[in-house]
Amino acid sequence: MEEKQTDAVPKYSTPRRETYASWLENCSRTGLAIVAISFAIYVTGSIESHLPVKDIPSYWGMSAAEYMQETGYRGGWAWTSLVHKADYMNFIGICFLASVTMVCNLRLIPMLLKENDKILAGICVAQIIVILLAASGILTVGH
């Protein structure tokens, strides 16, 4: 017996969930495309790299401290000064993917306020603040 297809909206679907899911899907696909394109640029050598692809295996056995000393990388947000190099372009997509939750929450806040759901809007704002503080490097432990 063949199952009947319906276009019924799932029981727990709401406009805010649909919006969040839609933004999550689109942002995730965009971020993955950025990563794929930047990786293709790196491996094809169409843009100069900070570290040539052929030299990468020589760094695999190093600790992070050794790697940083050997390559001159300073850590943290220092990659932004090297973003014009093919190997550091990958960080753009990675940072974009890391910010997807924040972007989705930003999109939801106006909807939540319009629905007078101030508690959930506040939670979204708090999540965004925590993500921004973590990304900024202000909240460091043991350094």
Residue 95 has a pLDDT of 93
pLDDT at site 115 = 94
pLDDT at 2: 57
Buried residues in 129-139 as b, exposed as e (16+ CB within 10 A): eeeeeeeeeee
Cβ(98)–Cβ(46) under 8 Å?
A: no
State the 10-residue block means of pLDDT for the chain, 143 residues long: 59 86 95 95 91 88 91 86 92 93 95 95 95 83 59
Among candidate residues 37, 54, 33, the one with its CA nearest the CA of residue 46: 37
At residue 54, the pLDDT reads 87
Provide the whole-model pTM: 0.76
C-alpha–C-alpha distance, residues 19 and 66, integer Å: 45
Q: Residue 58 is which amino acid? A: S
